[in-house]
Amino acid sequence: MTEEVRPFSTARGDRAPWLGGFNGIGILLMPVSREDAQGRHFAVRWLWLLFVPVLPLGRYYVTEGPQRLWGNSEAGGVETRYDFHGVTRMKAAEIVRTYAWFWLLLLPAMFLPSVGFALAIEWIATNPLDRSPVNPWWWAPLFASLAAMALWPVLAFAGLMGARSRYWTAHAPVHEVRWADGG
């Protein structure tokens, strides 16, 4: 697949776009292709709210640089440097795929235990159980769903993001580049 890329030019006043985030809110890059022979790939710049991409802001041809851990006992994070080589047009399929992944798969997978917890509470409230010390198992559905509600979102997020990362590093297509404006 060949894509036309307009190179960044300081003569035109092009500058690398701003990236940054804190506590799941910010502007971040998400890869949409595997690295080519030069170590470059295409990435979409997204506005994120609460760790979920909300609005695509642009599509770029980038090289991911080194990562740096920063922080102290109060706060910390990871800083990734990017070299921006060019800009290209956004693709609807990539945007729809990202929305589908996060909004239709990841969020329901993370918050499904909340529904189970609510159903367990409803079941306990409406079921005429013997809640005496002789029958200590009346609370089992409540605590089982509470444990699932606590663990499942973390496991779902880690597993699905790991699967997504594996796809982009090993199975996503490599896009060929055709430079526009004599780049």
| pLDDT one-digit tens code per residue, 25-76 | 999 998 888 889 899 999 999 999 988 899 999 999 999 988 888 777 777 7
CA dihedral 52, 58, 63, 66 (to 10 degrees): -40
Are 113 and 145 in contact by the 8 Å Cβ rule? The answer is: yes
**What is residue 14's three-state secondary structure?**
coil
- Residue 89 binned pLDDT confidence (cut-offs 50, 70, 90): very high
CA dihedral 153, 159, 164, 170 (to 10 degrees): 170
The beta strands (E) that lie in the chain are given as 2-7, 20-22, 25-31, 40-49, 52-71, 76-88, 176-179
Mean pLDDT, range 98-120, rounded to an integer: 81
Window from 5-14, 17-26, 33-42 with minimum mean pLDDT: 5-14
- Residue 183 binned pLDDT confidence (cut-offs 50, 70, 90): low
Give pLDDT, residue 91.
Answer: 92
User: Domain spans of the chain?
Assistant: 2-89, 100-157
- Distance (Å, whole) CA 166 – CA 98: 15
pLDDT tens per residue, range 119-169? 777 776 776 665 555 566 667 777 777 777 778 878 888 888 888 888 877
177 has a pLDDT exceeding 60: yes
